[in-house]
Structure 1
């Protein structure tokens, strides 16, 4: 019997397109995947729900069902045992129910690997909380991480680098490109900047509005399309009006994955000036569609996907001048064409096959005695 003959349980809070990309890739590589989602809806994201999947998908709690930590942990353990899996991939190691389930399963000889994209530089860390995390990671046999900085962070919490790999934050490049094929091919002068993000403080979108106003005053006659919604929308609309650029900024609200791909195919560059960004899967999507990226150095994606000056430009998210300079750089057609080609050529580094390879590396690790 090979490793691919053994069932693998894969758990996230809720499955959206990215999660199905990874589970589908594992199944396509011959692994017997059993998908588990804690809840029928995400607490943070309005994911599109898959109509049909080729692997079992179990939901532990539906709708507005109130469920306590112990009950959720019991359901998670029961779902893994029912699947017959001896290896599990769990996200959300910080959730008490997941910690409890991982501990019980590890005690029963099941290997549990965590999926993590947190980094030490995401925000100011509290020493007492970091000390607790060292205990939270004890049940895990290893990890698949989003970036090298994620691996460094895990190593600092006591998980040996020999038991961690990258490849977690990936998407199905073929799916993203197929969605983008519905796009028109605008003239270069008509391509807008694109933001695809929740409208929340850490995304630093007001900073992008200020940079756009300044860039336009310097001759960059571009629009900005903002795909996404959130609590800051009204404030951002008011700020665009105050800056005198309201007619050049389009707030498009919540968009489907397909709509995002089309917008990216028609865009000039992705703007991701986040103050905090564990990874930034939108970078994977942009590169898949040949869209150069202007991305915060705080995003984990820059570790693996962004070649500064080639397929994108890495910026300090608090330096408005750096963002303006990057916007002016991609406004030159010859430079943009080179970056467009480099973006598309580098996209496979963010493909789900990297996830499959990472998982298979973890599965090949010797079991602890």
Structure 2
């Protein structure tokens, strides 16, 4: 351990750009950081590869298939032991191996903390499942979470020491990805933008319906760009065709981060009417680019970084009327769009990684 630096461990299933933002911020804050990823490839996300020389990285396996729960628990405990850290922050409390490791670490004098973005209102809760989650959280001393609704959910599950700051990104990195910002784009032709995996919870079929209504009422000057891929792509393309807007919708597929930033800099608003969204990190990306956001109240980000009627709109995920009204407020009034764009840029700092570091430090005392 380098002299004068407090050792700390952070663990995720796999590292993507948002994890590197948080890891780098912790290392830059002066901690001797060991970063543990369970596998070298995520089971869910196709992250862009990254690396950093600011901290020590430990990868426990090439794939999840190599790790039974006892093996995973043993590897986590061994990696923590080598780090000499007392404070250990772990995601995936629901993994049996992580639960076993947290229990062992707590029993041997370490201080494990959970990292969680979930809220009670993410979906219909069952009492028996929530009781099980309460058990899985027993080994933890506290949690860093995404939003105030997450804090309340943790307290409902019996974990009293919970602080916000988990869901954050490096605003500096986001703004440096494409430094040649597109300042002068015709406001009348800026597209509406979706950046999401094409899965049911993102509610993109609803977005297409609202966009069709917008086009019917306001003409074809604006397009809808959809960045992302997933199992619903062909179904959504067929829906756009059925709605008569296929010529106005661009399905661009999975795009590199720099292309996402470029799209945000020349769009009118980000649309995120998810029916389930623990937080919605893409909201921070949009704000950092000065892009107003129209997001459903299901998004945890609406608790933290979205100010309704200031830098965007918070709408009900099942209300075509609310979504259309928000799109028209931005899409038909250039003064409103510019005012919200300026407020979006100014508010992005509330989602910066410095709040992640501050949350960790509040928990560690």
The answer as to 2:90 corresponding to 1:90 is yes
Correspondence for 1:11? 11
Q: Structure 2: how far apart are the matches of 1:354 and 1:184?
A: 28
Which residue of structure 2 lines up, in the alignment, with residue 194 of structure 1? 193
Map 1:41-60 to 2 at 5 A.
Answer: 41-60=41-60
Indicate the residue corresponding to 2:318 in structure 1: 318
- C-alpha distance in 1 between matches for 2:49 and 2:4: 27
How far the C-alpha of 1:51 sits from its partner, in A, is 3.8
The ranges of structure 1 where at least 4 consecutive aligned residues each deviate by more than 4 angstroms after the TM superposition are: none
In structure 2, list runs of 5 or more residues that go unmatched.
none
Q: Shift in Å at residue 63 of structure 1?
A: 3.9
Partners of 1:51 and 1:141 in 2: how far apart?
Answer: 30
After TM superposition, give the deviation of residue 4 of structure 1 in Å.
7.0
Question: 1:292 and 1:4, CA in 2 relative to 1: closer, same or farther beyond 3 A?
Answer: farther
1:121 match: secondary structure: helix
8 Å CA contact retained: 1:180, 1:289: no
Q: Give the match for residue 179 of structure 2.
A: 181
Whole-angstrom CA distance in 2 between matches of 1:4 and 1:17: 28
Q: Distance in 1 between matches of 2:120 and 2:174?
A: 30
Mapped to 2, the partners of 1:64 and 1:346 lie a distance apart of 38
- For the 8 Å contact 2:28–2:54, the answer to whether it is kept is no
Deviations 1:156-184 (A, max 9, x none): 00111xx1110000000010111132453
1:82 positional shift: 0.9
Q: Are residue 351 (structure 1) and residue 352 (structure 2) matched?
A: yes
Task: Determine the structure 2 residue equivalent to 1:61.
Answer: 61
TM-score w.r.t. length of structure 1: 0.96
Give the superposition deviation at 1:5. 2.2
Name the count of aligned residue pairs: 362
Note if 1:135 corresponds to 2:139: no
Over residues 13-65 of structure 1, what are the superposed CA-to-partner deviations in whole Å (9 max), with x where a residue is unaligned? 00000001001001111111110000111111101111443211111110474
State the alpha-carbon separation in 1 of the partners of residues 86 and 270 from structure 2.
41
Aligned to 2:209: 210
SS in 1 for 2:139: coil
| Alignment partners' CA distance in 2, 1:180 and 1:318 | 34
Query: What do residues 259-280 of structure 1 show as CA deviations (whole Å, max 9, x unaligned)?
Result: 1111111111000000000000
Tell me, yes or no, if the aligned pair for 2:20 and 2:52 is still in contact at 8 Å.
Answer: no
